[in-house]
Chain A
Amino acid sequence: MRLTKSFKLSLNILLHSRLRSWLTIIGIIIGIAAVVAIISISEGAQQQLNSNLGNLGADTLTITQGASRAMGPGDFGRGTEESSSTTSKNLTSKDILMLKNLPNVEYVMGQISGREDLTYMTKTATLEIVGVDTNVWKEITTEQLASGRFLTNGDTYSVVLGGSIVSSTFKDGIPLNSQIVINGKSFKVVGILKEGRSVYMSIDTAKTVLEISEDKFDSISVKLNDISLSNDTITAITNRLMLSHGIIDSNKKDFTVSSPTSMQETIQQTMSTMTLFLGAIAAISLLVGAVGIANTMFTSVLEKTKEIGIMKAIGAKDKDIMIIFLLNAALIGLIGGIGGTILGFFASEAISSLGGISTTTSGAGRGFLGGFGSSSYVSPELIIGALVFSILVGMIAGAIPARKASRLNPVDALRYE
Chain B
Amino acid sequence: MKTNIIELKNVKKTYKMGKNQVDAVSDINLIIYKGEFVIINGASGSGKSTIMHLIGCLDVPSQGSVLLEDRDILSLTKSQMAKIRGKKIGFIFQQFNLIRTLTALENVALPMEFQNNYIKAEERAKELLELVELKDRMHHKPTELSGGQAQRVAIARALANNPEIILADEPTGNLDSETGEKVIEMLYKLHKEHGKTLIIITHDTNFISKFRNIARIIKLKDGRIIYGKK
Known A316-B114, A318-B78; contact A13-B157, beta-carbon cutoff 8 A: no
**Distance, CA A316 to CA B59, complexed state (A):** 15
Give B86's nearest chain A residue, CB to CB.
A315
Q: Are B101 and A315 interface neighbours, CB within 8 A?
A: no
**Distance, CA A71 to CA B85, complexed state (A):** 73
Q: Are A313 and B113 interface neighbours, CB within 8 A?
A: no
A252 sits at the interface (CB 8 A):
no
Q: Return chain B residues, CB-CB under 8 Å to A15.
A: 101
Q: Are A317 and B58 interface neighbours, CB within 8 A?
A: no
A171 sits at the interface (CB 8 A):
no
Q: Which of B59, B83, B101 meets A16, CB within 8 Å?
A: B101
Known A318-B79, A410-B58; contact A2-B118, beta-carbon cutoff 8 A: yes
Q: Are A414 and B97 interface neighbours, CB within 8 A?
A: yes
Q: Which of A13, A16, A317, A414 meets B82, CB within 8 Å?
A: A317
Q: Are B116 and A414 interface neighbours, CB within 8 A?
A: no
Q: Which of A1, A307, A311, A414 meets B58, CB within 8 Å?
A: A414
Q: Which of A13, A317, A409 meets B101, CB within 8 Å?
A: A13
Q: Which of A5, A306, A319 meets B113, CB within 8 Å?
A: A5
B56 sits at the interface (CB 8 A):
yes
Q: Are A318 and B113 interface neighbours, CB within 8 A?
A: no
Q: What does the 1/0 interface line of A1-27 toward B look like (CB < 8 Å)? A: 110010000001101100000000000
**Distance, CA A409 to CA B78, complexed state (A):** 10
Give A320's nearest chain B residue, CB to CB.
B114
**Distance, CA A249 to CA B97, complexed state (A):** 89
Give A312's nearest chain B residue, CB to CB.
B82
Q: Are B118 and A315 interface neighbours, CB within 8 A?
A: no
Q: Are A314 and B111 interface neighbours, CB within 8 A?
A: yes
Q: Return chain B residues, CB-CB under 8 Å to A316.
A: 82, 86, 114
Q: Return chain B residues, CB-CB under 8 Å to A369.
A: none
Q: Are A411 and B114 interface neighbours, CB within 8 A?
A: no
Known A13-B101, A411-B53; contact A314-B114, beta-carbon cutoff 8 A: yes
B161 sits at the interface (CB 8 A):
yes
A242 sits at the interface (CB 8 A):
no
Q: Are A314 and B91 interface neighbours, CB within 8 A?
A: yes
Q: Return chain A residues, CB-CB under 8 Å to B97.
A: 306, 310, 313, 414
Q: Are A319 and B85 interface neighbours, CB within 8 A?
A: no
Q: Are B161 and A5 interface neighbours, CB within 8 A?
A: no
Known A12-B101, A319-B79; contact A314-B118, beta-carbon cutoff 8 A: no
- Among the interface residues A1, A313, A411, which one has the most CB atoms of the partner chain B within 10 A? A313
Q: Which of A16, A315, A409, A414 meets B111, CB within 8 Å?
A: A315
**Distance, CA A310 to CA B107, complexed state (A):** 11
Known A1-B114, A5-B118; contact A314-B85, beta-carbon cutoff 8 A: yes
Q: What does the 1/0 interface line of B115-130 toward A look like (CB < 8 Å)? A: 1101000000000000
Q: Return chain A residues, CB-CB under 8 Å to B85.
A: 312-315, 410
Q: Are B114 and A313 interface neighbours, CB within 8 A?
A: no
B218 sits at the interface (CB 8 A):
no
**Distance, CA A12 to CA B102, complexed state (A):** 8
**Distance, CA A2 to CA B114, complexed state (A):** 8
**Distance, CA A314 to CA B96, complexed state (A):** 12
Known A12-B101, A314-B110; contact A1-B116, beta-carbon cutoff 8 A: yes
Q: What does the 1/0 interface line of A395-417 toward B look like (CB < 8 Å)? A: 00000000000000111001000
B76 sits at the interface (CB 8 A):
no
**Distance, CA A315 to CA B114, complexed state (A):** 6
**Distance, CA A22 to CA B73, complexed state (A):** 43
B55 → A minimal CB distance (Å):
12
**Distance, CA A24 to CA B197, complexed state (A):** 48
Considering the complex, which residues of chain B in the window 87-102 have a beta carbon less than 8 Å from any beta carbon of chain A?
Answer: 87, 91, 93, 97-102
Q: Which of B93, B111, B114, B118 meets A317, CB within 8 Å?
A: B114
**Distance, CA A349 to CA B218, complexed state (A):** 75
Give B88's nearest chain A residue, CB to CB.
A315
**Distance, CA A411 to CA B91, complexed state (A):** 13
Considering the complex, which residues of chain A in the window 367-411 have a beta carbon less than 8 Å from any beta carbon of chain B?
Answer: 409-411
**Distance, CA A314 to CA B108, complexed state (A):** 10
- Among the interface residues A2, A316, A320, which one has the most CB atoms of the partner chain B within 10 A? A316
**Distance, CA A317 to CA B161, complexed state (A):** 15
Q: Return chain A residues, CB-CB under 8 Å to B115.
A: 315
**Distance, CA A13 to CA B98, complexed state (A):** 14
Considering the complex, which residues of chain A in the window 141-186 have a beta carbon less than 8 Å from any beta carbon of chain B?
Answer: none
Q: Which of B53, B59, B78, B113 meets A1, CB within 8 Å?
A: B113
B129 → A minimal CB distance (Å):
16
Q: Which of B53, B83, B93, B99 meets A315, CB within 8 Å?
A: B83
The 7 closest A-B pairs by CB, nearest first: A315-B86, A315-B114, A16-B101, A317-B82, A314-B111, A310-B97, A317-B79
Question: What are 23 A-B pairs at a CB distance below 8 A?
Answer: A2-B113, A2-B116, A5-B113, A12-B102, A15-B101, A306-B97, A310-B97, A310-B98, A311-B114, A312-B85, A314-B111, A314-B114, A315-B82, A316-B114, A317-B78, A317-B82, A318-B78, A318-B79, A318-B82, A320-B114, A410-B58, A414-B58, A414-B97
Q: Which residues on A are within 8 Å of B, measured CB to CB?
A: 1-2, 5, 12-13, 15-16, 306-307, 310-320, 409-411, 414
* Other A-B pairs, 19, CB within 8 Å; known A310-B99, A410-B85: A2-B118, A12-B101, A15-B101, A16-B101, A306-B97, A310-B98, A313-B56, A315-B82, A315-B87, A317-B79, A318-B82, A319-B79, A320-B114, A409-B59, A410-B58, A411-B58, A411-B59, A414-B58, A414-B97
